[in-house]
Amino acid sequence: MTFDIITIFPEIFKCHFKESIINKAIKKGLISINIHNLRDFSQDSHKKVDDKPYGGGRGMVMMVEPIYRAVAQISNFQFPISKNKKKKIKNRIILFTPRGKKFNQKLAYQFSKLDQLILICGRYEGVDERVAKYIVDSKISVGDFVLMGGELASLVVIETVSRLIPGVVGKSEDLLKERITKEKGFIEYPQYTRPPKFFPKKIGRARPEVWQVPKVLLSGHHRKIEEWRKKHRKIIEK
């Protein structure tokens, strides 16, 4: 699985991808992440990638031309291309926008079956609408709020999708089997670990009492544990 990120702030990502499970997955060759500086695709002598909006208004809008050239070079097919035409590899071009479809576990599952995700990170007051209309396959939002850009949203998508790729998370095949429903929702339930009893001191609102792990989880009775988890589980809807 290949993730290609188009951004004007490539340095944002470098530290994140050097850490933890993502870094291990890259080293194992399970995923690859390429960070592309949008300014490298500008033909302007000043590497300009934004301009004032037609019709007036505050701020700047990211231009269609550099994004067009970036996507054309990164993808394995040439523009223009019909939406009905088959692509050489299974990929998806994504633009992050508050007007997009809400990202969820079902989308993450669908994306994990692809060969390539091209992630376009907007900035400033937005992106020229022709990018959304003619270039991308999906417009995605990670929540009902507005970020300063699409970089954090792309990190959310990469982590969510990567953990569904076999081998990325330890025992990931078991993870997929046990915690993803037939409807492709994701099952969450309360988790506990040692110690079985914790005796906190009074800090802020914390009350000085014993915080205990539910007894059923300590029982070793697998059927009762499974019943408890079903009772307390939450399915993150598709």
Confidence category of residue 186, pLDDT binned at 50, 70, 90: low
Q: Give tens-digit pLDDT for 129-159.
A: 999 999 999 999 999 999 999 999 999 999 9
pTM of the model: 0.83
Classify burial at 87, counting beta carbons within 10 Å of its beta carbon; exposed 0-12, middle 13-18, buried 19 or more.
Answer: middle
- What is the average per-residue pLDDT within 175-195? 69
Q: Rg of the chain over CA atoms, in angstroms?
A: 22
Write b or e for each residue in 98-119: b if 16 or more Cβ atoms lie within 10 A of its Cβ, otherwise e. eebeebbbbbbbebbeeebbbb
59 pLDDT above the threshold of 80: yes
Domain boundaries 2-162, CATH class: alpha beta
Task: Pick the more confident residue, 140 or 89.
Answer: 140
Residues forming beta bridges with residue 93, ordered by sequence position: 118
Centre a 10 Å sphere on the Cβ of residue 172 and count the other Cβ atoms it contains.
17
pLDDT tens for 16-29 read 999 889 999 999 99
In percent, the amount of the chain with pLDDT more than 70 equals 85
* Helix axes of 151-162 and 20-28: crossing angle, nearest 10 degrees: 60
